[in-house]
Structure 1
Amino acid sequence: MDLRESIANQTNVSLSVAKHLFSKESDNNIVFSPLSLQVVLSIIASGSEGPTQQQLFNFLQSKSTDHLNYFASQLVSVILSDASPAGGPLLSFVDGVWVDQTLSLQPSFQQIVSTHFKAALSSVDFQNKAVEVTNEVNSWAEKETNGLIKELLPLGSVNNATRLIFANALYFKGAWNDKFDASKRKTTSFTF
């Protein structure tokens, strides 16, 4: 598998998504993580089959699950390596999958999620404990983002009809080499 080709394909997918997002007439700022999208969709593709999986392969410009898993494991190993110099930028990247306890997952999928994607995988009771699952996911996000994301899932967004949650938390802290001119900055509200 050619890593350069995979990176080029991921870049093409990212640019396609960005083009779609920015094509909407809007004065709003847009922030998205192409890497997060790639990894979460790769996890979903790894657990899919048939036409759904093929559509994900086409969108992600990938040939197979093995190809996606290899690329993801390379990305995750680079991102999770602690190679930043002391005082340098801090990057934390985590994924999680919460699955209703009534669903059985193939052992091969469980292994892919934990090995290639280094993602948390939990079997939960959406039927009777939707609020508790919401709190669990929110606690996970808060912990993994050093307290910056406290409410990934609003209360009521998870209910007894929920079967799967795929989540990604990306935390970055760094200093600019060239700081913004303070006279050109303005304060406005930011929502996501």
Structure 2
Amino acid sequence: MKAVICAIVAFMVFAGCVQNEQPVQLLDENYATAQDVSDVVNGNSQFAIDAYKKLNSENGGKNIFFSPYSISSALAITYEGARGQTAQEMQQVLGLPEDENAMLAGFAKIYNTINGKGKSYQLYTANALWAQQSYKFLDSFTSVSKKYFGAQATNVDFINKSEQARQEINGWVESHTNSKIKDLMPQGSLDPLTRLVITNAVYFKGKWKLQFEPSKTYGADFKVSPQQSVKVQMMHMSGEKSRFNYLENDELQMIELPYDGNGLLMVVILPLEGKMDDVDQSLSVQKIGELKAMLSEQEVVVNLPKFKFKTKYSMAQTLAGMGMPNAFSDEADFSGMDGTKDLYISKVIHQAFVEVNEEGTEAAAATAVVDATSIAQPQNIFNANRPFIFMIEEKSTGTILFMGKVTDPSKAD
């Protein structure tokens, strides 16, 4: 009987005021080149689009939110121990560079960029290994995991004290997401066959560069579908200072909303009425790149709903369906971890929380209603009163940290 690997990825995004940074040990990036980083980012972007489409097909009509970076980071560690067909499938699905040294250097550089100090927002990521204390893992695997991913191995006793190990892992996740993600691993998710758990957490907390005024937030209808609308709190910004990179064509509108500090930005893609399915199907790395190249700074009236929701995905079946079933089967080969073929991945659990509001704090109980007819109407109006796609990117590398789809802002789950 094969033993079990679990990959656990959790992250949290919260727009708000900045507190103390999480202390993170930076990695050795001396051999990382700009091309290494570009190759990892390009692969991550392709994985982001593929995963978005798969999750969208599996969760039709629901809000979607996930971190392609978080998932690929945890699974890249797992990939370091994969061999043969298992490694080939993982490399293709995750979009990992074929040059292993370039991949490792690229991940290390991105990790350091995310965890850099002196930011006006909070952004950090962390990895960890949780290994069965009586099981021998190869030094080559644990050393690479630590050197290039910052994943320190902690010995636990899954065989005799699986509940204690579960609580310890959940405590790590909670502490690395500012207590927003609790009890990630439910009771019974670990058992005596578990040999390794790989965790990744990403945390972001920041303010808009141009904040929405709470007094201008108003009640509005959001068209969940052509036949159904829900009431939402719609943030509003207009005037000479309301200038953003923006474009509109016969299919969609796109806008970039920067966060304070200019290191991160949210890209919002708003399909025109009746065009969401077309945009979903045609979405690609190339198309997004072409759209971004056409953005120009313009004065825009922006109406964006406040939203706050959490997601949780058991992604083993999703990833297998994307083209890497071998890793989850009895045919799995993770001999690069322990020198045997006794391991396979049983679970990939991904949980997330996101909140977007005017200035980053909790919303006020009372808001003013704005009469739409009293607002001067310039040429460009970005009115997100229907489902839209959004991404949060790290600007210097282009890494897509988070991606989602808001189908119903009134729902918390």
Per the normalisation by structure 2, the TM-score is 0.43
- Counterpart of 1:169 (choices 195, 201, 214) is 201
- Counterpart of 2:116 (choices 81, 86, 89) is 81
Residue equivalent to 1:33 = 67
Structure-2 separation of matches of 1:38 and 1:126: 25
Residue equivalent to 1:148 = 180
CA offset at residue 188 of structure 1? 7.8
Q: Which has the larger radius of gyration?
A: 2
- Counterpart of 1:106 (choices 138, 143, 159) is 138
Ranked by relative contact order (alpha carbons within 8 Å, sequence separation 6 or more), the top structure is 2
2:55 corresponds to 1:55: no
Structure-2 separation of matches of 1:17 and 1:101: 34
* Structure 1 residues 66 and 182, CA gap change in structure 2 (3 angstroms): farther
2:126 corresponds to 1:70: no
* Structure 1 residues 41 and 189, CA gap change in structure 2 (3 angstroms): closer
CA distances 1:14-47 after superposition (whole Å, capped 9, x unpaired): 1111111123352221110011011111101112
Q: Percent identity?
A: 28
More helix as a share of residues: 1
* Structure 1 residues 26 and 137, CA gap change in structure 2 (3 angstroms): same
Per the normalisation by structure 1, the TM-score is 0.87
* Structure 1 residues 142 and 23, CA gap change in structure 2 (3 angstroms): same
* Structure 1 residues 140 and 182, CA gap change in structure 2 (3 angstroms): farther
Preserved contact between residue 97 and residue 119 of structure 1 (Cα < 8 Å): yes
CA offset at residue 158 of structure 1? 1.2
Structure-2 separation of matches of 1:153 and 1:137: 8
The one-letter code matched in structure 2 to 1:158 is L
Structure-2 separation of matches of 1:118 and 1:25: 33
Residue equivalent to 1:124 = 156
2:76 corresponds to 1:42: yes
CA distances 1:109-133 after superposition (whole Å, capped 9, x unpaired): 1111111101231122110010110
Question: Counterparts in 2 of 1:83-98, with a 5 A limit?
Answer: 83-84=118-119, 88-98=120-130
